[in-house]
Amino acid sequence: MSGPVIEKLKSSTSSRSKLKLDSLLEITQAINSNFSASDLFKIFEFVLADQLGLEKFAYCANESPWRWTVTHHSAEEVSKIKPEFDLEGIRDLCYTENALIAPLRAFQIIIPVFHKTKALAYILIGGIEPERLDDVKEHDLEFIQTISNIIAVAIENKRLYKENLQQELLQRELDLAREMQAMLFPDHLPNNEHFEFSAYYQPHRKVGGDYYDYIRLNAQEVLFCVADVSGKGVSAALLMSNFQANLRALASADKSLELLTRELNTKVMQSAKGEKFITFFVARYHQQKRELLYINAGHNPPLLRCTDGIEVLRKGCPGLGILDELVDIEVGRVSISPGAFLLCYTDGLVEQENEGGKDFGLELLTNILAENHALSTKAFNALLVEHLSTYKGERPYIDDVALLACRFF
């Protein structure tokens, strides 16, 4: 695309001043026509070499890392310069005759281009005959600075625009991932004569690795769980979705919690290959017997409020995906009295820090449950989230937060 612009400038017979104005106009039009960075650099090189008659120059662009985008008769010289060390301290136009860094003395003039505090480019000019140097300084230097700034800012704007497009695309993909992840959670939790469930989930990012579920096994038994994948974001969400599929496929009325947990551990080892693990609390409740069986696989211990106080449910085994085989699994067994309240949660709740750096903690959570266990599960979760928000103050959330509350009637 730069070809027609260069040909047009070549054919011009205007005076030196008019040539500069024409060049500025053509560069501006090229930018407005969305010429590529490569084309803009070609125009820049043509203007300096053919119109200003400069023999040696180079353009170093900050593309993270720095890159020499134009090396007009200067490739060997710039190969000895390390921009991040040799140039980044230069903030104003300078002459190099007394430069401490020897490779810079192969040039005569250095022009930095900044946007606020960020260096966008450095233009190095050399090969000017001594008798011509004053003429270049007087008549051409300001023009070179101008077109250097115009091109550098235009390329930076292109970069920012592309970056914003990528961010928008990523946000759209994350929004879609969040919608897809929401479909993995139960769309309905029961509220009947046997029990009342309510849940809350807030990912730390758009998607997360916390998970809860409820499965009806048969007419008398239900299974429910809370899990937390190590890590955050998309990788944790992917493992969580895989775990949800495995749980749903493996859970059945004729399978013990112990066997289910062993099978899930094997699946997590196969999926995560030891790079991630999952903490997991799973419970099985028999309505007629009013008996709760549970396994806590390295998870934050749920709190069960019964008539005789609050019990912390710790029995179980290590987290899933840590060991190739779970050797000893202790199954907890609890008799459930009418009105009992069970709160399951993930570590994003109790590990959230306040502005003083202190964790929310299990003690505060226990006190809140003791004082508010008479609330409905939905009202209790809302109250707990409000407590957490007040507690953290201006501190950001550090992790996903999931709650699963159940009242037994």
Assess if residue 170 is contained within a domain. no
Residues 110, 6: one domain? yes
Residues 380, 259: one domain? yes
Assess if residue 169 is contained within a domain. no
Q: Provide the domain limits for residue 315.
A: 184-408
Q: How many structural domains does the chain have?
A: 2
Q: What is the pLDDT of residues 355-372, one digit of tens each?
A: 999 999 999 999 999 999
The pLDDT of residue 259: 97
Residues 157, 189: one domain? no
**Token couple for 153:** 């800012």
The pLDDT of residue 98: 87
Range among 87-91, 94-98, 384-388 with highest mean pLDDT value: 384-388
Residues 135, 283: one domain? no
Q: pLDDT band for position 5 (50/70/90)?
A: low
**∠ CA 62-66-70, rounded to 5°:** 85
Assess if residue 177 is contained within a domain. no
Residues 79, 221: one domain? no
The DSSP letter of residue 204 is S
Residues 133, 232: one domain? no
Residues 264, 340: one domain? yes
Give me the half-sphere count of Cα atoms (radius 13 Å) on the Cβ side of residue 179.
Answer: 5
Q: Which residue has the tokens 């993270």?
A: 64
Q: What is the pLDDT of residues 234-290, one digit of tens each?
A: 888 888 899 999 999 999 999 999 999 999 999 999 998 888 999 999 999 999 999
Assess if residue 172 is contained within a domain. no
Q: Closest Cα partner for 78 from 56, 49, 98?
A: 56
Residues 10, 130: one domain? yes
Q: What is the pLDDT of residues 168-208, one digit of tens each?
A: 888 887 787 778 777 888 989 999 999 999 999 988 877 77
Above pLDDT 90, what percent of the chain? 76
Residues 268, 313: one domain? yes
The pLDDT of residue 171: 83
Residues 231, 372: one domain? yes
CB 141 within 8 A of CB 95: no
Give me the half-sphere count of Cα atoms (radius 13 Å) on the Cβ side of residue 211.
Answer: 30
- pLDDT mean over 222-230: 96
Q: What is the pLDDT of residues 383-408, one digit of tens each?
A: 999 999 999 999 999 899 999 999 99
CATH code (residue 330): 3.60.40.10
β-strands 291-297, 316-317: how paired? parallel
Residues 225, 369: one domain? yes
Residues 148, 105: one domain? yes
Assess if residue 168 is contained within a domain. no
CATH code (residue 80): 3.30.450.40
The pLDDT of residue 340: 97
